[in-house]
Amino acid sequence: MQLSTRALVALILVGSVTSLMASSAAIGFVAANGSFQVNAQQARGNATLFDGSVIETTKAPSQLRLENGVQLRLATDSRATVYQGRVVLEKGSGQLESSSPFPVESRTLRVFSTGPNTVARVQLDGQKRVLVAALKGSVRVTNSSGIVLANLPSGLSMAFEPQVGASAPARVSGCLFQKGGKDFVYDGTTKVALELTGTGLDKQVGKNVEVTGIQNPATQAIAVTGLKPVSGGNCAKFAKMVEKSGVEAAAAATGAAGTVAAAGAGAAAGAAAGAGVAATATVIGGVAAAATVGGLAAAGGFSGPSQNTNPPTSR
């Protein structure tokens, strides 16, 4: 009986050690040409990353390389918590380099790539705003509930700012079209097609409109409470092409994205308060969105260790 008890204790200890080793498995490493902090401890050169590691830079930017192939650069004076399946940017700026939909979370937003070899930049601006730029590839931005806020093609940067109250009315401008017996509006600012519900919408098909309404978090559809026409855009051709070719092909063929966005730019300011952000009428999922002018301010803060930096041999 005594031997059995000892054997049982040994098995428990082995299981505990195995579990501890699994929970503390390395997920990557961080490197910098200078000093930085890992979990509030000073480090220099490089260090191993574990699930939940907190990285903070000061005067030197850093480069994070994860085992899953994702790379993230942190600019100077930035902080992020790194997990195996996501990164939470808490301060400053980060640059995601990934071909997989690996999310960077910041405040209430989630930013991830939707194409191969994507390079996306995320920057916290002020107390509420988050700036996002697609430097290469394509990027999708959602809120914490998964509602799609914007699809950013290469070269586009936008500012996002949560509105007061979770039920802020939706406000979009774009081309109204039908597909599969349902009504949609393609918002030229965010490059997102949103379903509309309401009466009399069929009379506006093929026209550019500004829509206000209440968005259903579950279906993402907007129950229209207000609608008015806006000028500009080649909406009639776009609406005809959508049913056969799809939204992206129709937008590319007609140039609807740019012209419709310009038409709605003269409406309410939305997220545009502050220098460098253009006026917009777009509010989706309780978040205002606006195109930024001149890109992100921290464009020069990411130079750091080369791509050939070797992982650390020890923690």
Torsion of CA 237, 241, 242, 245, to 10 degrees: -150
For residue 50, give the nearest of 38, 40, 35 by alpha carbon: 38
Domain spans of the chain?
Answer: 26-160, 170-264
DSSP string covering 195-252: EEESSSGGGGTTSEEEEEEEE-TTT--EEEEEEEE---S-HHHHHHHHHHH-HHHHHH
- Give residue 294's pLDDT: 59
Average pLDDT over residues 154-166: 83
Predicted TM-score (pTM) of this structure: 0.81
User: Roughly what angle, to the nearest 10 degrees, separates helices 235-245 and 256-264?
Assistant: 130
Rounded to an integer, what distance in angstroms lies between the CA atom of residue 256 and that of residue 237?
9
Looking at domain 26-160, its CATH architecture is: Sandwich (2.60)
**pLDDT at res. 281:** 59
In this chain, the answer to whether the domains covering 26-160 and 170-264 adopt an identical fold is no
What is the residue whose two structure tokens read 């506006």?
204
Give the pLDDT confidence of 210-254 residue by residue, as tens digits.
999 999 988 999 999 999 999 877 899 999 999 888 998 888 888
Phi, psi of 299 (to 5 degrees): -60, -30
Whole-number pLDDT of residue 256: 56
Residue 184 pLDDT level (bands cut at 50, 70, 90): very high
Query: What is the reported pLDDT for 308?
Result: 44
CATH code of 170-264, in short, is: 2.40.50
% of the chain beyond a pLDDT of 90: 61
Q: How far is CA 130 from CA 57, 94, 105, 208, in A?
A: 19, 11, 10, 28
Does the structure show a pLDDT above 60 at 167?
yes
Q: Is the distance from CB of 201 to CB of 213 less than 8 angstroms?
A: no
CA 96 to CA 87: how far, in whole Å? 9
Angle, nearest 10°, between helix axes 235-245 and 247-254? 140
Q: Hey, what long-range contacts does 275-279 have (CB within 8 A, 24 or more apart)?
A: 277/159
Q: pLDDT-derived band of residue 175, with 50, 70 and 90 as boundaries?
A: very high
What mean pLDDT value characterizes the chain? 82
Residue 162 pLDDT grade (very low, low, confident, very high; cuts 50, 70, 90): confident
Q: What is the pLDDT of residues 261-301, one digit of tens each?
A: 443 333 333 333 443 444 455 999 999 999 886 556 544 46
Long-range contacts made by residues 224-232, C-beta under 8 angstroms, separation at least 24? 224/196, 224/197, 224/198, 225/169, 225/198, 227/198, 227/201, 229/204, 230/173, 230/263, 230/264, 230/267, 231/263, 232/208, 232/259, 232/260, 232/262, 232/263
99: Cβ contacts below 8 Å, ≥ 6 apart: 69, 113, 115, 116, 117, 118
Res 186: pLDDT: 95
Q: Where is 8: in which H helix or E strand?
A: helix 2-23
Helices 256-264 and 247-254: crossing angle in degrees, nearest 10, is 80
Question: Does 34 have pLDDT greater than 80?
Answer: yes
Give the model's confidence band at 62: pLDDT under 50 very low, under 70 low, under 90 confident, else very high. very high
The C-alpha atoms of residue 83 and residue 85 are separated, in whole angstroms, by 5
